[in-house]
Every structure is written in structure tokens, then in C-alpha cells.
Amino acid sequence: MTGSDSHTRRMVVTGASSGIGAAAVHRFVAEGFEVHAVARRAERLAGLSAATGCATHVLDVTDTDGVVALAGELGPIDVLVNNAGLGRMDAPLATGSLSDITRTIETNVTALMVMTMAFLPPMIERRCGHIVNIGSMAGLYPLSSATYGASKAAVNRFSMNLRIELRGTGVRVTEICPGRVATEFYDVAISDPQRRAASKDSGVQEITAEELADAIHYAVQVPAHVNINRIELQPTEQTYGGMSFDTVIPEGEDIA
């Protein structure tokens, strides 16, 4: 049980095999939720289940039929955390590939919308539920990746407009927009080993996946009459725009 709830709250977390998704599974299982972890990597999910006791579902979120089938199998849930996402940053748009565009939009936008659509009707019928979308600071501020930024900007607008659509239903919508988080993001985003290593070394203390899970937990656990519209969080030394960081100026030196 959680709080004054008369039933065990049920949650679905996508992209649960690592990083933010795995951290959210750990956090909410510890809080007494029945958590269903969704991801492509069966071995990672098996380890997560062994560690937490969560239920697991091996599924690529871009498989629309699979998503619809999962929603039918699970029935009503209380919270959907749309965490699955990726960014391809091997090249700027002009020299990039069509496959990178397609993969990014299908995963970050289309799959998120389909997953939400599949699980929403029972929430509306029961007049309670919570959609938590993991966006990005890249969707709110300029970033040197047009495709990824556009996909996360779509998550931002989708979240805002969905909340308007759901007014009067009791269903809440929250967008969590992190900056740099210490996850496997750049391992997928950048293929070239040298560029990947350089991109991963920000030189600042980054947000951990567990700290991001804390933000999700805060939004979910506030009273039902309160909707946390959006949470922006990033390392203290990271500035808006995603790729710029403040540095300490040595004493006696001026900024050029």
C-alpha cells in the first residue's frame, strides 16, 4: 500500500533495462508499487527482476501491435512512465542519415504517443491515473542536435496539450526534463569512440539516475488534486542550452 490508497498501485516503466528506467523501477518497487518493467534487453530485465521483484516484459516500444497487446494484457494501471528514448548524434542533419531521423522520431515521439494512447482509456474510465513523460532540457532550449532536440520538443508540446485534453478526467500529466544525467545515453548516441569519450566527459558532477528517479517519485506522490506540470533539473554547473558548462575562473584572471 502507498499512503491512503486501498490497493497496490500499478506502474509501467519503459526503457527499464538501465539508467533512469532501472532506477525508477528500484525506487517504486521499494515504495510498494507493482512495477512492470518494459525494455528490449531480456538479460538486463532478468537481472532487474532478480534484484527488485518487478514483473518484466521484453518489448520494443516501436512495436505498435506489441504495445497494444501489452496494454490489453495488463489492464488498468495507475502510473505510466514513458522513459524509453534515444538520441543519434553522429552527424548534423545535413550529413546525417535517414535511418537516424526515423529511429529517433519513432522511439522518442511515436512510441511514446502510442504507449500513452494504449493505457489511457482505463485511466479516464476510472477517473484517475498519471502519465509521466521523460523529456529533456534539449526540448526546451537550443542544443547542437536538431533531430534529437526536435523529438524532445515534441514530447514537451505533447505533454502540455495532452493535459488540456484530459482536463476534467482526473488523469495527471507530468513532464520531467533533465539535463546531463550519468547514463548510457552517449553510448548509443555516438558511434565514434573518440567523440563518444569526449562527449561523455563533461567535467562536472552530473545528475544520477537515482536522483532523476527521486524527481519522478516526487511528482507521482503528491496528492491527487496536485499536478506537477514539469520539472527541469540539471547539474549546477550546466547552463541552459545543454552543451555549455560554467567553470571556476582562477583568482586574478579575467574572462576574455
**Would residue 2 count as lying in a domain?**
no
Q: Answer yes or no: is pLDDT of 252 > 70.
A: no
CA distance 142 to 243: 9
The more confident residue out of 35 and 253 is 35
Residue 191's CATH number: 3.40.50.720
C-alpha cell at 226: 496536485
How confident is the model over 1-5, as a mean pLDDT? 41
Segment 108-143, tens digit of pLDDT: 999 999 999 999 999 999 999 999 999 999 999 988
47 in any annotated domain: no
What's the average model confidence in pLDDT over 49-74?
98
Beta bridge partners of 90: none
148 is catalytic: yes
**Beta strand 129-134 with 79-82: parallel, antiparallel or unpaired?**
parallel
Q: Across residues 139-155, what is the average pLDDT?
A: 91
One-letter amino acid of 187:
D
Categorize the per-residue pLDDT at 1 as very low, low, confident or very high, splitting at 50, 70 and 90. very low
Are residues 61 and 104 in contact, defined by beta-carbon separation less than 8 angstroms? no
- Residue in 148, 186, 218, 240 annotated catalytic: 148
- Residues contacting residue 130 through CB under 8 Å, at least 6 positions apart: 78, 79, 80, 171, 172, 173, 174, 219, 220
Is position 70 within any domain? no
Instruction: Kindly state whether residue 21 falls inside one of the protein's structural domains.
Output: no
Higher pLDDT, 250 or 232: 232
Question: Given this model, what pLDDT does residue 12 score?
Answer: 98
Instruction: Quote the domain boundaries for residue 128.
Output: 76-233
Q: H helices within the chain, ranges in order?
A: 19-30, 42-52, 64-74, 98-105, 111-126, 146-165, 185-189, 193-200, 209-221
Please report whether residue 204 resides in a domain: yes
Read off the pLDDT of each residue in 234-254 and give the average, rounded to a whole number.
60
Q: Which pLDDT does position 202 carry in this prediction?
A: 65
Residues 195-226 have pLDDT tens digits of 555 555 667 788 999 999 999 999 999 999 99
